[in-house]
């Protein structure tokens, strides 16, 4: 897609997304691989993944963070408490940040933004406090601005994200039940002002019933709702 200026976005099922910049920076968001029923089975991630971004501590967003960081030599970027948690699980390199802050990762300025969702991490010892749920804005040098909402309800301050960062591409959960569904995602699209929407977090499990078709029927003219198969690049 020409408006992406050489940036490649690969949807890997659920909320897992690989972003590859024209300059060669590879960023994996919310790695959910081994137990993800929609992960493309024969897909091979790039050998080097420079950064793994985690939106929140739920298993369907961080399950493969530790092994993927080890295998691909990645630095994990997350809200402070979640970064400390994955460090305690064996990740050697982390960047802890917090809402409203921006970190420069090679040619990508990554800003952590609000989300409305819960966020504990579960392991064999129980539930752990790992900060709050977040989204990420990725402003790519000489490229587009991307927004990955993580898991969230729609909220009015998405307008602030639109006013501040003008994301051309918004990756939004649409499945419902644990996040917003298509009706709410259509309003989110208006608040953000984004013209390209990549639907996430649908169809993975039976309760996640929202579909890209339902979203496409509710957005304004001129908004493109992508319908990728897992493993497809936009
Ligand atoms: Ni969640
Ligand atoms: Mn989730």
pTM: 0.97
pLDDT tens-digit series, residues 41-64: 999 999 999 999 999 999 999 999
First to last CA, the chain: 6
pLDDT surpasses 70 at 223: yes
Ligand 1: centre distance to CA 222 (Å): 30
Ligand 1: centre distance to CA 152 (Å): 8
pLDDT surpasses 80 at 3: no
Ligand 2: centre distance to CA 130 (Å): 15
C-alpha to C-alpha distances, 163 to 82, 175, 192, 196, 200, nearest whole angstrom: 28, 26, 8, 16, 23
**Pairing label, strands 102-105, 108-114:** antiparallel
Ligand 2: centre distance to CA 201 (Å): 7
2-225 is classed CATH 3.40.50.170: no
Give counts: helices (H), strands (E), the chain: 6, 15
pLDDT tens-digit series, residues 186-202: 999 999 999 999 999 99
Helix, strand, coil abundance in the chain, percent, nearest 5: 20, 30, 50
Ligand 1: centre distance to CA 3 (Å): 30
Ligand 2: centre distance to CA 151 (Å): 5
**Pairing label, strands 51-53, 26-29:** parallel
Ligand 2: centre distance to CA 181 (Å): 13
pLDDT tens-digit series, residues 13-39: 999 999 999 999 999 999 999 999 999
Find tokens 């499990």 and name the residue: 205
Determine the Cα–Cα distance for residues 211 and 203; give it in Å rounded to an integer: 8
Q: What's the confidence (pLDDT) of residue 10?
A: 98
C-alpha to C-alpha distances, 39 to 5, 10, 42, 230, nearest whole angstrom: 26, 11, 9, 6
pLDDT tens-digit series, residues 162-171: 999 999 999 9
Side-chain half-sphere of 156: how many Cα atoms within 13 Å?
A: 0
Ligand 1: centre distance to CA 177 (Å): 11
Ligand 1: centre distance to CA 216 (Å): 24
pLDDT surpasses 80 at 92: yes
Q: Where are the domains of the chain?
A: 2-225
Q: What's the confidence (pLDDT) of residue 2?
A: 53
Ligand 2: centre distance to CA 35 (Å): 13
pLDDT surpasses 60 at 185: yes
């Amino acid at each position: 897609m020409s408006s992406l200026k050489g940036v490649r976005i690969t949807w890997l099922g659920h909320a897992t997304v690989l972003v590859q910049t024209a300059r060669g920076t590879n960023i994996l968001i919310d790695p959910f691989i081994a137990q993800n029923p929609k992960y493309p089975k024969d897909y091979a991630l790039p050998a080097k993944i420079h950064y793994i971004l985690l939106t929140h501590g739920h298993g369907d967003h961080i399950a493969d963070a530790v092994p993927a960081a080890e295998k691909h030599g990645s630095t994990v970027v997350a809200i402070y408490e979640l970064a400390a948690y994955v460090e305690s699980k064996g990740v050697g390199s982390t960047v802890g940040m917090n809402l409203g802050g921006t970190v420069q990762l090679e040619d990508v300025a990554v800003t952590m933004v609000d989300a409305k969702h819960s966020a504990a991490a579960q392991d064999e010892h129980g539930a752990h406090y790992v900060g709050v749920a977040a989204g990420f804005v990725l402003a790519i040098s000489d490229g587009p601005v991307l927004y990955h909402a993580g898991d969230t309800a729609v909220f009015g301050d998405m307008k602030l994200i639109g006013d501040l960062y003008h994301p051309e591409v918004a990756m939004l959960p649409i499945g419902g039940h644990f996040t917003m569904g298509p009706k709410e995602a259509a309003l989110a699209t208006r608040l953000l002002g984004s013209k390209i929407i990549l639907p996430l977090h649908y169809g993975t499990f039976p309760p996640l019933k929202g579909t890209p078709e339902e979203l496409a029927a509710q957005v304004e003219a001129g908004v493109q709702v992508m319908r990728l198969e897992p493993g497809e690049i936009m």
